[in-house]
Amino acid sequence: MGAFTFLLIIVIILAIIGLGWRVFASGLLSGIDRVLKIGSPAVKDWTNQAKEYVNNAGSLVIQVR
């Protein structure tokens, strides 16, 4: 489990570096929108919570700068 998590984190970091933060974030948000359109109610609720968390984290980063 620990090796899988480590590998997943490395892949995500390399994707962010390779694509750039804005492209990575817009792809993530478009994926969330797709899940919201076709997902079950539980998945929609989880995605809304994740979307709010990402938006709040982004606003916190902007405020810190």
Beta carbons within 8 Å of 39's beta carbon, 6+ residues apart? 47
Query: What is the domain count for the chain?
Result: 1
pTM of the model: 0.42
Q: Would you say residue 10 lies in a domain?
A: no
Whole-angstrom distance, CA of residue 19 vs CA of residue 25:
10
- 56 within some domain: yes
Q: Whats the size of the chain, residue-wise?
A: 65
- Range of 61's domain? 21-65
In a domain, 53, yes or no: yes
Is 2 within a domain? no
User: 18-57 pLDDT, tens per residue?
Assistant: 878 788 788 888 887 887 777 677 777 887 888 888 777 7
Assigned domain for 9 exists: no
Amino acid type, 56: N
Residue 4 counted as domain residue: no
- Tokens 């995500």 -> residue: 12
